[in-house]
Chain A
């Protein structure tokens, strides 16, 4: 399979496996330049009370040339999230919804029971649900079985930049849910984190703060674009297993003389 093959998810073919958030940039210009550099597969957006600047932001993301994925950020119950999803469908004429049901204000981790209940209701109502979850295998399996278009385990808490806290759990998810679209959402701090997630077989990564709050957001966006592509290629290529000991990469046969002890002036081996 070509590493450039698009990601099939929710009835679409995404051109990139890097999905980008649109919040926390220093300016609209920095956001636009970062989108241009990242060439993301989709952009996440939120729904809030209409206020000044709404028209400018709308035209910026509308003209970005990639699909919009609205989220339910700030929702704490299934009822709130379902209501928010219906508003976003009305607003954007899309059935896509990044489902967030937050259960704790400090960790911003999902409330798994409300999340699953909301996912089931939204799937039944025709939504393509992208469910923000922890990397808990059973929760992710239930979300997948509920018909979510994508299951999105976190790397670590939202905005923390702490990277992939439990790579073994992502490995287990990939092994146990081979047919699920798995997207690491949240916690990615550095391009190496994104590459690591992709090397573990994740289908895509979604990040925001790591680009938006970088010293140079467009340059960081390009770095993430390349890291995601490299990680994807590495997964397809098949990484070597880890070993507990060294293994010479240069063949040990036909070594000329380096194992011989240095000789002295008379040609005798040194003691």
Chain B
């Protein structure tokens, strides 16, 4: 395993290329107290696939949640 740099919601973040995305999300503070959806490089990663998903260096990770809207 090795440390890689990724982009999390537009900000620099560190990740482990051997860790599953679900574990990485927990490390980044997404504790499951509200629902979120995840896209990597612009593509939705359905919840059942988060555990097996591995990131590569420079991956663009977007964690999306509900917000106020009209």
Contacts and interface: CB of A to CB of B under 8 A. Distances in A.
Contacts of A57: 34, 66-68
Contacts, number: 99
Interface of A: 21-25, 31, 44-51, 54-55, 57-59, 61, 68, 70-71, 73, 83, 86-88, 90-92, 158-159, 206, 208-209
A46 B68 contact: yes
A208 B62 CA distance: 27
B70 A158 contact: yes
B36 A208 contact: no
Contacts of B69: 21-23, 44-47, 70-71, 73
B65 A48 contact: yes
Nearest to B42: A83
B46 A24 contact: no
B44 interface: yes
Given A50-B9, A91-B37, A73 B70 contact: yes
Interface string B5-38: 0000110000000000000000000100111110
If over half of A's interface residues share one DSSP class (helix, strand or loop), that class is named, otherwise mixed; here it is mixed
The 4 closest A-B pairs by CB, nearest first: A46-B69, A21-B70, A208-B70, A50-B65
B70 A58 contact: no
Given A48-B64, A49-B9, A90-B47, 10 more contacts: A44-B69, A48-B65, A50-B36, A50-B64, A58-B34, A58-B66, A59-B34, A73-B70, A87-B37, A90-B44
B57 interface: no
B39 to A, nearest CB: 6
Given A49-B9, A83-B39, A86-B44, A91 B64 contact: yes
B63 interface: yes
Contacts of A83: 39, 42-44
